[in-house]
């Protein structure tokens, strides 16, 4: 949609200045563009209208802003132009209406605009908007389906990216922010699982998650290839680099690169067609791998709060406990469920050791039972021998007494 908004207007400058995250700015600007298209008013006109209504006697107020927002929502889901790119800088309208979830997001963007000027609108009760419907459901993948994706990966980097997303549950923005220093020491120590200390910018949350053996091995192979191409790595080098003909270039990938890589393998592996199975988005996106990790872990008995912690959600004071006292418990939870997120059909050395230990323990218990039985039999035999010896001594004493009498 062509940008007809004058972002230099003072109210808009003031509003955008209150939003720190670029991704939020982008979404809110999109919502405001639609709102200006819907109302046909500038930002100054909208604020003047809202403040004028706010000054009125309560009996004379029209609730103009609330009415506009309700009307805006209905217009978004039914009439808002849906466009797609048909060339560089050129779009065309292909349909009408946005999803109810996106409509909610855009309405909240406009509410944020008004609140910057102390105009607060509550959409509750009869004024509440319909609950958003989940129309664009992502795929939930099993470990074997992820293996299919990995088999069609175009490069060692894409293979490592897919497995890192799936076995850690991190979001794509966090993945793109990873540095070589985040994994270097753990790889050098052959840590299993490999712990990742992370910061999720979206929620402002510090947390950690793990990488299983598959992701760790894929990372090692990818990094060995990077080094073999003469690219020097240090602690601050982006972990996942753009694939470029310039051997010395060390520019990190962006979420759009990951989206493109996932779309490629999704089509190649026949999970989706080139039209995204008729959907407006790729149902097998990086977020699908994140949701698959969370679903598998929850389904295999990991408490919801632990899964939320691994995903980088805010869980309050419990986070500190998981970072320190309960770390080993959380680590063991991951290890116990790793087979369900593993794509390799391998004989795990730790599993072999565990099985051997269990067999030895079982044999030890059997031997102990046998020894206990023999000990009981031995004790019974000793008691019988003692009884026999006592009777024999009595018999000898009687014989001696009888011989004395005879003599």
What are the tens digits of pLDDT across the range 163-214?
A: 999 999 999 999 999 999 999 999 999 999 999 999 888 777 889 999 999 9
Q: Cβ distance 271 to 139 under 8 Å? A: yes
3-class DSSP state of 308: helix
Distance CA 385, CA 73 (A): 99
Cα distance between residue 367 and residue 12, in whole Å: 82
**What's the pLDDT score for residue 32?**
95
Query: Judging by beta carbons within 10 Å of its beta carbon (0-12, 13-18, 19+), is residue 46 exposed, middle or buried?
Result: buried
Of the chain, the percentage scoring pLDDT greater than 90 comes to 53
pLDDT tens digits, one per residue of 28-61: 999 999 999 999 999 999 999 999 998 888 888 8
Beta carbons of 240 and 286 less than 8 angstroms apart: no
Give the bridge partners for 93, in sequence order.
Answer: 83
Give the pLDDT band of residue 72 (cuts 50, 70, 90).
very high
Give pLDDT, residue 9.
Answer: 94
Q: Would 244 be classed as within a structural domain?
A: yes
Q: Are residues 235 and 123 in the same domain?
A: no
Residue 135 lies in a domain: no
Residues 39 and 99 in one domain: yes
Phi, psi of 87 (to 5 degrees): 180, 175
Q: How far is CA 125 from CA 50, 58, 290, in A?
A: 21, 19, 35
Domain assignment of residue 133, yes or no: no
- Shared-domain flag, residues 256 and 372: no
Residue corresponding to tokens 């007809």: 4
Q: Is the pLDDT of residue 247 over 60?
A: no
In a shared domain, residues 239 and 275? yes
Residues 249-274, mean pLDDT to the nearest whole number: 88
Query: What pLDDT score was predicted for residue 86?
Result: 62
Weakest-pLDDT range from 17-26, 158-167, 260-269, 350-359:
350-359
**Of all helices (H) and strands (E), which one includes residue 32?**
helix 22-39
Q: How confident is the model at residue 347 (pLDDT cuts 50, 70, 90)?
A: very low
Q: Tell me which of 125 and 74 has the higher pLDDT.
A: 74
- Confirm whether 251 is domain-assigned: yes
Residues 105 and 216 in one domain: no
Closest CA to 164 of 111, 209, 113: 209
Question: How many domains does the structure of the chain reveal?
Answer: 3
Residues 148 and 112 reside in one and the same domain: no
The kind and range of the H/E element at 91 are strand 90-96
150 and 194 both lie in a single domain? yes
Domain final residue, candidates 97, 127, 157? 127
Same domain, 89 and 166: no
The whole-angstrom separation of Cα 218 and Cα 121 is: 51
Q: Which of 200-204, 309-313, 373-377 has the highest mean pLDDT?
A: 309-313
How far is the C-alpha of 313 from the C-alpha of 319, rounded, in Å?
Answer: 10
On whether both 214 and 314 belong to a single domain, the answer is: yes
Res 354: pLDDT:
57
| pLDDT of res. 15 | 95
Q: Which of 303, 324, 346 is the last residue of a domain?
A: 346
What is the C-alpha to C-alpha distance for residues 22 and 32, in angstroms, rounded to an integer?
15
Question: Same domain, yes or no, for 233 and 122?
Answer: no
The overall average pLDDT reported for the chain is 86
Taking the whole predicted model, whether its pTM rises above 0.85 is answered as no
Domain boundary among 127, 159, 179: 127
Neighbour-count burial of 333, counting CB atoms closer than 10 A to its CB (0-12 exposed, 13-18 middle, 19+ buried)? buried
- Which 3 state secondary structure label does DSSP give 252? strand
Is residue 3, in this structure, part of any structural domain at all?
Answer: no
| 300 is a domain residue | yes
Of 18-22, 84-88, 184-188, 215-219, the poorest mean pLDDT is in 84-88
Would 5 be classed as within a structural domain?
no
The CATH number of residue 264's host domain is 1.10.443.10
**Enclosing domain of residue 82:** 10-127
Same domain, 180 and 89: no
> 245 and 337 share a domain?
yes
Structural domain includes residue 136: no
What would the mean pLDDT of 105-125 be, rounded to a whole number? Answer: 92
The Cα 310–Cα 327 span in angstroms is 12
Q: Is the preceding peptide bond at 193 cis, omega within 30 degrees of 0?
A: yes
């Amino acid at each position: 949609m062509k940008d007809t908004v004058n972002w230099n207007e003072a109210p808009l400058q003031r509003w955008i200045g209150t939003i720190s995250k670029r991704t939020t700015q982008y979404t809110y600007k999109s919502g405001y563009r639609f709102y200006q298209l819907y109302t046909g008013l500038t930002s100054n006109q909208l604020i003047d209208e809202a403040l004028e209504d706010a000054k009125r006697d309560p009996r004379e107020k029209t609730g103009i802003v609330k009415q506009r927002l309700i009307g805006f929502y209905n217009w978004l889901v039914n009439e808002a132009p849906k466009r797609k790119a048909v060339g560089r800088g050129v779009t065309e309208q292909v349909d009408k209406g946005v999803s109810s979830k996106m409509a909610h997001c855009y309405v909240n963007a406009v509410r944020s605009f008004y609140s910057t000027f102390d105009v607060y609108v509550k959409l509750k009760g009869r004024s509440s908007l319909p609950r958003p419907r989940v129309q664009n459901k992502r795929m939930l993948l099993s470990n074997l389906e992820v293996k299919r994706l990995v088999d069609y990966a175009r490069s060692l980097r894409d293979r490592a990216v897919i497995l890192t997303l799936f076995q850690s549950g991190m979001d794509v923005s966090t993945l793109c922010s990873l540095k070589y220093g985040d994994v270097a020491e753990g790889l050098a120590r052959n840590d299993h699982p490999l712990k990742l200390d992370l910061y999720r910018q979206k929620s402002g949350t510090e947390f950690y998650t793990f990488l299983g053996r598959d992701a760790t091995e894929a990372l090692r192979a990818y990094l060995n290839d990077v080094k073999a191409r003469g690219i020097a790595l240090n602690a601050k080098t982006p972990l996942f680099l753009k694939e470029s003909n310039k051997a010395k270039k060390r520019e990190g990938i962006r979420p759009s690169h990951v989206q493109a890589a996932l779309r490629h393998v999704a089509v190649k592996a026949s999970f989706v067609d080139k039209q995204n199975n008729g959907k407006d988005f790729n149902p097998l996106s990086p977020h699908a791998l994140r949701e698959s990790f969370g679903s598998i872990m929850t389904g295999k008995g990991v408490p919801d709060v632990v899964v939320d912690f691994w995903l980088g959600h805010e869980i309050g004071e419990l986070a500190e406990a998981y970072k320190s006292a309960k770390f080993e418990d959380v680590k063991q939870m991951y290890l116990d469920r790793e087979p369900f997120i593993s794509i390799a059909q391998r004989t795990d050395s730790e599993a072999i050791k565990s099985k051997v230990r269990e067999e030895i323990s079982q044999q030890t218990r059997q031997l102990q039972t046998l020894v206990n039985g023999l000990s009981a039999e031995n004790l019974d035999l000793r008691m019988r021998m003692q009884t026999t010896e006592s009777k024999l001594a009595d018999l000898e004493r009687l014989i001696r007494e009888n011989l004395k009498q005879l003599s």
